[in-house]
Amino acid sequence: MKRTISHLADGRELIYFDRRDDADRSAIDPRDLPPRPFASELRYDPLMDEWVAIARHRQTRTHLPSADECPLCPAKPWSEIPSPYDVAVFENRFPSFSFDLGEYEQVGGLSQVRPGVGRCEVVCFTSDHNASFGSLSDEQVELVMEAWADRTAELSSLPGVEQVFCFENRGPEIGITLPHPHGQIYAYPYVTPRTKQMLGAAARHTGGNLFADVLSAERTGPRVVAANEHWTAFVPAAARYPFEVHVYPHRQVPDIPALTSEERSAFAPLYTSVLRRLDGLFGVAMPYISAWHQAPVSFGRDLAYLHLQLFSIRRAPNKLKFLAGSESAMGGFVNDILPEEAARMLRNVQITS
């Protein structure tokens, strides 16, 4: 793999990940771009003990351009990526967190305000606008994993970063703003609420590692969707979403960089098969969120267990699961589909290898 660092017209980093060592990355960004926005401000919610990022500049971000104007398609006058690529990663032009600091005033009361330091990156899985992650070759998925591992390690070393989150949003029902196959990476200046909650549960668990015990209980059960030597994909017993699959490595590791080359290779065919099962379930492109749960940078790494959470809000061919009153206001989920039935439906989808 060849890794090449370049820069866009406004100074943002662009990193190419190529399979060939002779890839030419000399093309420059010809655009005249405005100055980079200042970092968001973080405001503390004392009732929830959580930080909320206020990022006003994101209101003007690109929203659902036509395929002819896609900024992730390479080598166009409006492109974020000046030349064709295998996998490309660049700093988000409209970041939720960054190191470009402005002035931040306190708001009074019990809240606090601090700069939203951190970094947000866009990961372009392929230059093919019409592809999807599920259609990628095993070789291409491995290259994406190399990019995830590289970026997780580098972002974890930045000052003020407490957690690195790699994810993909797919489908207009999820709220994507760019349809080109891509994901994002957030380098948070705090540990996210969900991670704190899971690590708290793991700390209270007795008898072994909580995540490992969950995986052990699921590996031979009725909710397994797919498995191989290194990974198991299963519907969790208390799934919150109509179709939700968790993908665990069989070995406890804190993050993607800690995976062996064999584990990374084994992930590709299993994961893409699960994505194709989702698309084949109702014969339509399934909207989903795919979220890597990695250990925080500075604590809980002995308790954490890398895993991927994949879920969709589609519950039927023409029906979505809306996160309405109970879910959105109270955090109390009500699922419409029995997890064992969801797993059976996914297993029964006929897919081609």
120 is in an annotated binding site: no
In terms of Cα–Cα distance, which of 5, 6, 8, 66 is closest to 33? Answer: 8
Measured CA to CA, the distance from residue 285 to residue 101 in angstroms comes to 40
Whether the CB-CB separation of 299 and 177 falls below 8 Å is answered with: no
Neighbours of 253 (CB within 10 A): 18
Question: In this structure, what token pair is assigned to residue 6?
Answer: 């370049």
7 is catalytic: no
CB proximity list for 324: less than 8 A, separation 6 or greater: none
In terms of Cα–Cα distance, which of 247, 265, 320 is closest to 139? Answer: 265
Please identify which of the residues 7, 63, 182, 293 carries the catalytic annotation: 182
CB proximity list for 108: less than 8 A, separation 6 or greater: none
Determine whether 27 is exposed, middle or buried from the number of CB atoms within 10 Å of its CB (0-12, 13-18, 19+): middle
In terms of Cα–Cα distance, which of 162, 153, 149 is closest to 118? Answer: 162
171 φ/ψ sector (left φ>0, alpha ψ -120 to 50, else beta): left
Counted residue by residue, the chain has a size of: 353
Specify the DSSP class assigned to residue 197: H
Question: In this structure, what token pair is assigned to residue 11?
Answer: 């100074």
In terms of Cα–Cα distance, which of 146, 312, 200 is closest to 245? Answer: 312
166 is in an annotated binding site: no
Binding residues for Zn(2+): 70, 73, 129, 180
Residues known to be catalytic? 182
Binding residues: 70, 73, 129, 180
